Structure 1
Amino acid sequence: MRTPDTQRPRTSRPGSDILRTALRRNVGAMIWGTVLMGLYQAGETAFPIALGLIVEHTMKGERSLGALAVSIGALAVIITTVSLSWRFGMRILQKANTTEAHRWRVRVAACGLQPVARDVDLKSGEVLTIATEDADQTADIVEVVPMLISSLVAVVVAAVALGLADYRLGLLVMAGTVAILTILSVMSKRIGSSTREQQARVARAGAKVADLITGLRPLHGFGGNHAAFRSYRQVSTEAKHQAVTVAKVNGVYAGTALGLNAVLAAAVTLTAGWLALGGEINIGELVMAVGLAQFIMEPLKLFSEMPKYVMTARASAERMALVLGAPPVATPGEGRPAEGGDLELDHVRYGSLRKLKFRVRAGEFVAIAVYQPRAAADLASVLAVNVPPEAYEGVVRLGGQELAALSVESVREHLLVNPYDGEIFAGTLRSNIDPAGTSRTVDEAVEASMLTDVVALHREGLDYGVRDRGANLSGGQRQRLSLARALAADAEILVLHDPTTAVDAVTEQLIARNVAKLRRGRTTVVLTSSPALLDAADRVLVLDEGAVVAEDTHRNLLARDEEYCLAVAR
């Protein structure tokens, strides 16, 4: 749930700022890359000039071995310069490009994973695309600018060399280059708008895939997989059509650029030939002009492609700005909850919760029997600080302090909410139970969650490999693994949301006793309808229609509350 924009000023970070930041912190690498790539282009330009000079000297009768040796040496120096400058120049630029892409990936990921979510209308799959593809394309600007400058150097050097032979050749190159870039700059705007739309549609398709993978098992369960796949096919088809449109635009752009470059090269060659026939330039200058006419096609090709890359980088930067420039959903406080305090909800109204009021004393094990699953989910969201305090009525207190006055990090260090659908990550059983590698209660957590049979089943034990989303584990094993992770964290206040729905009754009984034993003296709240967990609790709160309607031990409630008995009896 979002608060109105009028209550929270929105800051923005436009894509141009992101590009300027990328350029600013890579100035050193770009300068060296520009120098070396400029040397490369200058060396390439010097090659036909040197050939023209050699031919001219040969035509004048200077055919000594010394002159031949000097010519070969000059060509060797040019070739060596071209080879080394390209090698080291591209190494510097690509290292800077890769490093910059990594920085932006980390920044976007940090925004997506921060304790207080950002107010941005993007799904997690779209954020993933922005953190990968868009970060890479934005960082390309670090490589594009030096290539643009070096290509310009090559065109200028070629124009000057041709101008020294005949001013009309130099003017032809300069005028032709300006005309080509003017035409292509207009076309690049179409590429930018088409690319932005393609990136958005591809991101939406990626988000749809992520959602399908997450819900694949439930979809198969109630036969909704075909409808879901049709929905994805529609989104994917839209992305495909837009990709085809972008490919067509890029194809027209590339074809136009190549054609215009070829026309300019042909014009320079024909003009040089006409001037040579008229005796206005010599044979050596003709050879140089023909060689340069062929050579300038490469820098002109690079030069003409740069606007396309710049527009793509800007489109990606603007998509990153959607994440990086979005304000937090809530502005958390800076306080820390007191150790050993109570958990209290005072007339909380949110979603299906209706003036919910209860208090859990420090060290108490309380089970909450929730008749409506939606109310359990809403309560878990409020306690997990997934809902900002200003988005609901009433107050949540930890140790007597209001949640809004506490920092999110300190709340989550103090109070851990283990969700119903806890994620299982690729890695090992151990890395899933103790991601930080700092827990001292891993073995106790494994035993309490009854995960011991899974550990004993494999020779690697806790180092047994787990596939992405726990694909090689059953539903009950994944649930017990998630419970073991929550118990291993040893939080002062632990909230468990339906931790045993996928296990059998015998295992459920053992888990209930083990959790009560392991968590003795630590505050524990379980949202459940499990008779075993309800019986293991110190007391049970009955939550109906978003409010507490009864409170007692499980057995007393069974004896006097018929509705409760029907709701939890199995």
Structure 2
Amino acid sequence: MTTPESPRPLSGPDIVRATLRRNIGAMARGTVLMGMYQAGETAFPIALGLIVEHALRDRGLTPLALAIVALAVISATVSLSWRFGMRVLQKANTTEAHHWRVRVAARGLRPVAGGGELKSGEVLTIATDDADQTADLIEVIPVLIGSLVAVLVAAIALGLASVPLGLLVIVGTAAILAVTSVLAKRIDAGTREQQALVARAGAKVADLITGLRPLHGFGGNHAAFASYRGVSSAARRQAIAVARVNGAYAGTAQALNAVLATAVTLTAGWLAFEGRIGIGTLVMAVGLAQFIMEPLRLCSNMPKYVMIARASAERMALVLAAPPVVPPPAAEPPVAGGGLDVESVGFGSLREVSFRVRSGEFVAVVARRAGAAADLVALLAARVPHDAYRGTVRLGGTPVADLSVDTIRAHMLVNPANAEIFAGTLRGNIDPSGGGRLLAEAVEASLLTDVVALHRDGLDHAVRDRGANLSGGQRQRLSLARALAADAEILVLPDPTTAVDAVTEQLIARNVAALRRGRTTVVITSSPAFLDAADRVLLLDEGTIVAEDTHRNLLAGNETYRATVSR
């Protein structure tokens, strides 16, 4: 499925081409400056050779002064061209990496058809490491061209002094690039596999940290650690294999560079011994032989950088090409205040589920099976592709199949039962946009007031990553406060108070019902406090709605309901 933003799914080569095309101006400026830098670096041994040649022939202060001025000009050129060249390239590099990080993160935050093949930890790795490695091409290519300029200048300078020396540099450079290009192909497949395994390890540890408390609760932490150790060990073995190949590649390239430098030096010495070149030319040749080793090293590393960038781009394409779970927005948006309708829906453990929540109504849903509640939440949260379920879900009279995720969320908020808590402050977690008008009311309704009162900074109290400095009940109330502060037209709350005590739960249920009066609210829970506060209660059993009434009437007259809420 395609979107207006991207006529067709992006591939890895598409991403690389887009990166280079978008930064062609910065790369051109950087290439000119890096070429000047490398040419200036090459000019040093050439200038020294000419100074020695003229010093032996024309003794005096004037040639010495001119030599000093020439060296000063070369030094200034080298310093300024490097400074401004790297400034241009690194600015473009970081800007482009930011561009891809934002695109990957934005796509990763949107539901995709089938749930996608990548976990959140892998998406995080792709949005950081892979985005950076792809953008590195902006910096690598101009540096490579500058290095080739240096080698070319050295070859021309040596060729003017002695044709054999110039030809030796040109032929040797071509041979080194040919050998390293062949070796780089061996790095490609190993690098792809290593990046994939590292991303999987990141996903595994992210999932492990997220579920650490529940894992400890039922003793599953050791099995989870063993699972992570297996994935991490596979990543380590692959990294070692890639390191071996990289080591062989770097060693071979360095050895070839040294062979060429040695060949140039020995050839220049032999020509000087035979009197075919002067002492100044010998000094220049020896200096250039030492100098060109660094440009040659950069040139020989170029294929490796390209392989890494291409593998990273293809991993980004996995995220960016994932089809969204819904098509573009419908021509007619939902009618405000139209309520929520679920008509004959079948998905997972749900079968022929039908109910209606009228505008402004407070409805609770009790599920006898946790799986049925989870399926209903996934359906309402637009995490299920439309072709994966039967029936129709309508929002304000419009089928959600005709709405974009953004449009759905603009009218209905499904607050996750285990919502993320972000590093920052209490205020920032409750009102991320800074424009919530129900901040104080939401804090009061969720009984987060005790947490605020405990700390001198109040709502500006610092919260650690994932709410590590808060208890489970405090994190859950913080999540509830955030959902209430959003003041959504339709609010769905799955199990909002499982981590708080019964007295607090009773107060929260009353507060939520009062705050949401006149606004459509659906609570999926077995909490007697919320069930009693609801206008209606729906009993979901065997995948369908089997009863509906007030909590007290169901409690008195329905044995199945009584057994469900009292267990």
The normalised TM-score by structure 2 is: 0.96
Question: Residue type matched to 2:135 in 1?
Answer: A
Question: 5 Å matches for 1:370-385?
Answer: 370-385=367-382
User: What is the aligned partner in structure 2 of residue 504 from structure 1?
Assistant: 501
Q: Is 2:150 the partner of 1:144?
A: no
User: What is the aligned partner in structure 2 of residue 13 from structure 1?
Assistant: 10
User: What is the aligned partner in structure 1 of residue 446 from structure 2?
Assistant: 449
- Aligned residue among 258, 278, 281 for 1:282: 278
| Partner SS, residue 502 of structure 1 | coil
Q: Is 2:311 the partner of 1:305?
A: no
User: What is the aligned partner in structure 2 of residue 226 from structure 1?
Assistant: 222
- Matches of 2:566 and 2:184, distance apart in 1: 68
Contact 2:114/2:384 (CA < 8 Å) preserved in 1?
Answer: no
- Matches of 1:248 and 1:140, distance apart in 2: 23
- Matches of 2:407 and 2:98, distance apart in 1: 29
| 1:11 shift after superposition | 4.2
- Matches of 1:360 and 1:120, distance apart in 2: 31
- Matches of 2:108 and 2:133, distance apart in 1: 19
| Partner SS, residue 309 of structure 1 | helix
Q: Is 2:183 the partner of 1:176?
A: no
| Partner SS, residue 114 of structure 1 | coil
Question: Residue type matched to 1:285 in 2?
Answer: T
| Partner SS, residue 382 of structure 1 | helix
- Matches of 1:283 and 1:74, distance apart in 2: 20
| 1:332 shift after superposition | 4.3
| Partner SS, residue 340 of structure 1 | coil
- Matches of 2:275 and 2:165, distance apart in 1: 15
Question: Residue type matched to 2:458 in 1?
Answer: G
| 1:406 shift after superposition | 2.4
Contact 1:11/1:326 (CA < 8 Å) preserved in 2?
Answer: no
Question: Residue type matched to 1:30 in 2?
Answer: M
| Partner SS, residue 79 of structure 1 | helix
Q: Which moved more, 1:329-338 or 1:294-303?
A: 329-338
User: What is the aligned partner in structure 1 of residue 313 from structure 2?
Assistant: 317
Q: Is 2:404 the partner of 1:407?
A: yes
| Partner SS, residue 356 of structure 1 | strand
Contact 1:11/1:327 (CA < 8 Å) preserved in 2?
Answer: no
- Matches of 2:376 and 2:11, distance apart in 1: 37
User: What is the aligned partner in structure 1 of residue 554 from structure 2?
Assistant: 557
Question: Residue type matched to 2:250 in 1?
Answer: A
Q: Is 2:83 the partner of 1:98?
A: no
User: What is the aligned partner in structure 1 of residue 244 from structure 2?
Assistant: 248
User: What is the aligned partner in structure 1 of residue 514 from structure 2?
Assistant: 517
Question: 5 Å matches for 1:110-509?
Answer: 110-114=106-110, 120-334=116-330, 335-509=332-506
- Structure 1: which 5+ runs fail to align? none
Contact 1:115/1:409 (CA < 8 Å) preserved in 2?
Answer: no
- Matches of 1:73 and 1:507, distance apart in 2: 82
- Matches of 1:117 and 1:453, distance apart in 2: 42
| 1:116 shift after superposition | 5.1
Please list the CA deviations of residues 25-78 of structure 1 after superposition, one character each: whole Å capped at 9, or x if unmatched.
112211111111111111111111111112112222x11111111111111211
Question: Residue type matched to 1:564 in 2?
Answer: Y
| 1:115 shift after superposition | 5.6
- Matches of 2:115 and 2:470, distance apart in 1: 35
Question: Residue type matched to 2:214 in 1?
Answer: P
Please list the CA deviations of residues 487-534 of structure 1 after superposition, one character each: whole Å capped at 9, or x if unmatched.
111111111111111111111111111111111111111111111111
Question: Residue type matched to 1:416 in 2?
Answer: L
Question: Residue type matched to 2:230 in 1?
Answer: Q
| 1:10 shift after superposition | 11
| Partner SS, residue 545 of structure 2 | strand
| Partner SS, residue 18 of structure 2 | helix
Contact 1:268/1:290 (CA < 8 Å) preserved in 2?
Answer: yes
Contact 2:340/2:395 (CA < 8 Å) preserved in 1?
Answer: yes
- Matches of 2:519 and 2:87, distance apart in 1: 56
- Matches of 1:309 and 1:490, distance apart in 2: 49
| 1:549 shift after superposition | 0.8
- Structure 2: which 5+ runs fail to align? none
| Partner SS, residue 540 of structure 1 | strand
What is the CA RMSD across the aligned residues, in angstroms? Answer: 1.7
User: What is the aligned partner in structure 1 of residue 105 from structure 2?
Assistant: 109
- Matches of 1:281 and 1:449, distance apart in 2: 89
User: What is the aligned partner in structure 2 of residue 32 from structure 1?
Assistant: 29
Please list the CA deviations of residues 282-339 of structure 1 after superposition, one character each: whole Å capped at 9, or x if unmatched.
2221111111111111111111111111111111111111112232233244231101
Please list the CA deviations of residues 235-292 of structure 1 after superposition, one character each: whole Å capped at 9, or x if unmatched.
0011111111111111111111111011001101111111111121122211111111
| 1:119 shift after superposition | 6.2
- Matches of 2:114 and 2:106, distance apart in 1: 11
Question: Residue type matched to 2:512 in 1?
Answer: V
Question: Residue type matched to 1:94 in 2?
Answer: Q
| Partner SS, residue 487 of structure 2 | coil
User: What is the aligned partner in structure 2 of residue 64 from structure 1?
Assistant: 60
Please list the CA deviations of residues 381-433 of structure 1 after superposition, one character each: whole Å capped at 9, or x if unmatched.
11111112222100111222212122322221211111211111111111111
Contact 1:419/1:497 (CA < 8 Å) preserved in 2?
Answer: yes
Contact 2:327/2:404 (CA < 8 Å) preserved in 1?
Answer: no
- Matches of 1:331 and 1:287, distance apart in 2: 70
Q: Which moved more, 1:115-124 or 1:442-451?
A: 115-124
- Matches of 2:234 and 2:152, distance apart in 1: 44
| Partner SS, residue 393 of structure 2 | strand
- Matches of 1:208 and 1:390, distance apart in 2: 30
Please list the CA deviations of residues 69-119 of structure 1 after superposition, one character each: whole Å capped at 9, or x if unmatched.
111111121122112211221121111111111111111111112365686
Contact 1:208/1:232 (CA < 8 Å) preserved in 2?
Answer: yes
User: What is the aligned partner in structure 2 of residue 566 from structure 1?
Assistant: 563
Q: Is 2:104 the partner of 1:79?
A: no
| Partner SS, residue 501 of structure 1 | coil
Contact 1:450/1:480 (CA < 8 Å) preserved in 2?
Answer: yes
- Indicate how the Cα distance of structure 1 residues 556 and 118 shifts in structure 2: closer, same or farther if over 3 A, else same: closer
Q: Which moved more, 1:529-538 or 1:132-141?
A: 529-538
Q: Which moved more, 1:196-205 or 1:408-417?
A: 408-417
Question: Residue type matched to 1:440 in 2?
Answer: R
| Partner SS, residue 347 of structure 1 | strand
- Matches of 1:118 and 1:110, distance apart in 2: 18
- Matches of 1:118 and 1:256, distance apart in 2: 46
- Indicate how the Cα distance of structure 1 residues 170 and 393 shifts in structure 2: closer, same or farther if over 3 A, else same: same
The total of aligned residue pairs comes to 563
Question: Residue type matched to 2:274 in 1?
Answer: G
Q: Is 2:540 the partner of 1:543?
A: yes
- Matches of 2:54 and 2:442, distance apart in 1: 87
Question: Residue type matched to 1:535 in 2?
Answer: D
| 1:537 shift after superposition | 1.1
- Matches of 1:92 and 1:399, distance apart in 2: 52
